[in-house]
Amino acid sequence: MEHQHHQHGQAATPPAKAHEHGKQVPSAGGHADHAAHDHSAMIADFLQRFWVCLALTVPVVAISPMFQHAVGYSFDFSGRNWVSFALGTIIFVYGGKPFLTGLVDELRRRSPGMMTLIGVAISVAYLYSTAVVFGLVAGMDFYWELATLIVIMLLGHWLEMKSVAGASKALELIVKMLPAEAHMYHGEMLHDMRVDELKIGDLVLVKPGEKIPVDGTVTEGESLVDESMLTGESVPVNKSVGSKIIAGALNGEGSLKAVVDKTGKESYLNKVIALVQEAQASKSQTQHLADRAARWLTFISIGVGVLTLAVWLAKGQGLAFALERMVTVMVTSCPHALGVAIPLVVAISTAMSARRGLLIRNRTAFENARKITAMVFDKTGTLTQGKFGVSRVEPMDGSRSADDLLALAAALEQHSEHPIAKGIVRAANEKYLALPPVLDFSSMTGRGIQGKVSGKTVSVVSPFALMERNITQPTNAVGNETETVVFILENNKLAGFIALADKIRPDAKAAVEDLKKQGIKVFMATGDNERVGKAVSDALGLDGYYAEVLPHEKVDVVKSLQKKGEFVAMTGDGVNDAPALAQADVGIAVGSGTDIAAETADIILTESRPSDVLGLVNFGKATYRKMVQNLLWATGYNVFAIPLAAGVLYPTFTLSPALGAVLMSVSTVVVALNAQLLRREMGMT
């Protein structure tokens, strides 16, 4: 039996890396709203610059001799050059400001990139055209190319920022799930209080149809609660006295009174937000690859641009033509699409997964889900329901009745959150048994629990611990293959045993079959006895199982599979399974409600459904596939675009700077739209 999961008095909490280095977890109305406001203001600013520059670009293009010649009309007037200069200067300064500011910032950080290329391109175009107007060089200005280039760049950036805002919207929805106020009791009177002013121990009322304001425990009432946006559980969960409720869940038709257990940053929802933000901010190996590619593309663009200028000048072309080719190369080959290819997919997939009850701590591990060849499951609460029901209570002599033995075991087990412990306590509560007080309580990892009751040392232990103490296991304790047995000792003497039965989860068999169809071998590592382990393995059709395994021995299970060349994912409860989760190539921690896993897990599933593990694998594959598609597109189009921009087809075809900007912007939009398709592929809108 899996008593090694006992970690009494130790609550599992999610990592708080987002709190480091001055970062803070946003709450409703907090930093997230401020950040969203800043981002919205930036989007609005780009759109405003676009419309102003577009209005000024129309006359600049209309009076350009080059454009007039291309279209076939003639229109000239005295001072035309000065009008072009004035309008071009306004467009360059006002419309080009974001790019020029970005250029300075990138050079200051010694990290030239997209803004450097755009900034250099528009600066060269403007300075050359201005030199022509003032008679410093002979030739023709190209203010109209400069104007159209800036207008298209502004539009492209606006479209990109809108896409990023759309990708982040899911996270904003999570933030908004937490209501701003709660109905708090002052004695018998109800008062509306700000949620951030509530304290642990306060009593609140949740009315029908309202969002639950805090993490707490129900003290009165009963209702069905929709937790789908938090845990991915589509079926409403019944909540009654003693049930845990989560802030942000939607209450059904009943009223609930609840005592506040957690507030502010400690609440489940805020921890989810912190994990999502941490994952979105972190970079995986794929992102680092994209960053390196973007940096190299920047250097290549600058190099090819300068080379293009030199080659055309050497061929006898004028400075204006050579400069135009250089500007077109730099604009067309901007690593804009490459810069958003991965972050957009990351933002979308991370927020989507959080809404499904899948929290990503390690992005590389998430993307590596596609490599998994062996999946090791813990048994209790993962492959099985973890809701143990007491099937037998057997005292060893006539000194204690069955109810006395059950009450004795429940007195110790009430300190534990393990499914077996809950089953024993639930059975005692159903019989309204009085539980004796316990002193000097302690947990024996992988073996059981112990404490003082009425001056005697009482232990509730596993069969393995019984063997260690050289105590013979009663023959009638073997039971049937579905039972798990714990033994009660008084002063190291066997007082009796309690048998409990657990059921396999309804979705476990289908999940195992689907994993195996994908070529993944499925194993189980359990602290339960050989008989129970074999029964579950046979029922699910597993590729193998490891029974009577202590927590530290699960590491050996993972290592043995890795030595055979398997890419191993370990799925456990994240507390006692921490060493195995850390050893695995992908560590998946499962929990229920607010019981979130230990820091060693790469990925956290808020529910304990095997189908969620399957969903994680499929989601990881789809996300990686989108990243690769975006990378191929963002880099591949340059193979054709850069030679065209350099003028390899001249005079048959010449790519103008404006058309080059259109191509670059289109590539960015394609990447953004492709990232958004991840929602459709994973069945979410």
Positions marked active-site: 378
Distance CA 96, CA 330 (A): 15
Residue 206: beta bridge partners?
256
Cβ pair 333, 117 in contact under 8 A: yes
- Alpha-carbon torsion (538, 5, 366, 678), positive or negative: positive
Is the distance from CB of 555 to CB of 544 less than 8 angstroms? no
Angle between helices 96-108 and 143-176 (to 10 degrees): 80
N- to C-terminal Cα separation, the chain: 43
**Angstrom distances, CA of residue 577 to CA of 46, 285, 556, 596:** 50, 26, 12, 13
Amino acid in position 508? A
The CA-atom distances, in angstroms, between 578 and each of 5, 266, 552, 602 are 11, 21, 9, 11
Q: Tell me the CB-side half-sphere exposure of residue 552, using CA atoms within 13 A.
A: 3
Mapping DSSP onto H, E and C, the string for 582-613 reads: HHCCEEEEECCCCCCCCCCCCEEECCCCHHHH
Calpha distance 352→350 (Å, rounded)? 5
C-alpha torsion sign, points 513, 517, 518, 522: positive
Distance of alpha carbon 327 from alpha carbon 645, whole angstroms = 9
Inter-residue long-range contacts of 562-570, CB under 8 Å, 24+ positions, other chains counted: 565/373, 566/373, 566/374, 566/521, 567/368, 567/371, 567/372, 567/373, 567/374, 568/372, 568/373, 568/374, 568/375, 568/376, 569/369, 569/372, 569/374, 569/375, 569/376, 569/613, 569/617, 570/376
